[in-house]
Amino acid sequence: MTKQGFHTIGEVARAAKVSVRALHHYDEIGLVRPSGRSRSGYRLYTGADLERLQQVLFFRELGFRLEDIGPILEDPGFDRKSALLVQRARLAEDAARATALVALIDATLRKMERGEKMGPEEMFEGFDPRKHEDEARERWGGTTEYKESARRTKGYTKDDWAALGAESGAITTALAEAMARGVKPGDDEAMDLAERHRAHIDRWFYPCSSEIHAGLGEMYVSDPRFAIHYDRHAPGLAVFLRDAIRANAARK
């Protein structure tokens, strides 16, 4: 018989729509540890355990890696209500952006079915390359690099942003493909791709020296939001890029 106020692992798995195996893994890595055990040794979860599991799943929905979630939850300053408000804002922003992009896809398909061409403005309606502008200004607004980036991008058209995005996407895809083929970060191919990445920043945003690029590489790994961007393409890609950037800087 289950202890009062506790939930069995099976009950939690069904409610949270995760596998028992996943819950075992969360326990093993210290991410969500059940507070109790039955007389037979089976895991038992309290309401507080379920709240923690809910947070883990929210962070997972936002693309965070398991190894990044633990330190966030263990931070003495972590506040569940504040986290929920931030998560709500992020998910609402993602939902709005996804809705706009779905509408753009539908409009594009309708035009294709009718054999009609879309104008440049219409073709890129829904893309918002400036969605992180406020955060960037807060973090780097006083730097020379940020000011130069703001100066350059202020005059970019939607065609410019489309070209920039296509170039960036091609580099990221090439990095992911190289990693999948077993290319090492210190191999010439990986370092050449890292150099393309540096040159892309240098061309479109601000003068990017090898030293600045190496600092960016560290940030791509240490800041979960940047890590998410790369690891969505391929797990471990953020670390692969950072190491390739390090190697490329060293060979110079």
Answer yes or no: is pLDDT of 60 > 50: yes
Q: Residues 251, 143, 129, 227: is their CA dihedral positive or negative?
A: positive
Average of pLDDT values for 14-33?
95
**Could you tell me the pLDDT band of residue 234, with boundaries at 50, 70 and 90?**
confident
Q: What's the DSSP call for residue 2?
A: P
> Which band of pLDDT confidence, cut at 50, 70 and 90, is reported for residue 94?
confident
List the end-to-end C-alpha distance of the chain, in Å, as a whole number: 67
Q: What are phi and psi of 65, to 5 degrees?
A: -80, 155
pLDDT (mean) for 29-45: 92
Percent of the chain with pLDDT strictly greater than 70: 88
Q: Which of 50-59, 85-94, 142-151, 233-242 has the highest mean pLDDT?
A: 50-59
Q: How far apart are CA 123 and CA 136, in angstroms?
A: 27
Residue 237 has pLDDT above 80, yes or no: yes
pLDDT at residue number 132: 47
Section 160-183 average pLDDT: 90
Maximum average pLDDT range among 1-5, 197-201, 209-213: 197-201
More confident residue, 79 or 194: 194
- Is residue 153 predicted with pLDDT exceeding 90? no
Q: Please give the residue that has the higher pLDDT: either 133 or 244.
A: 244
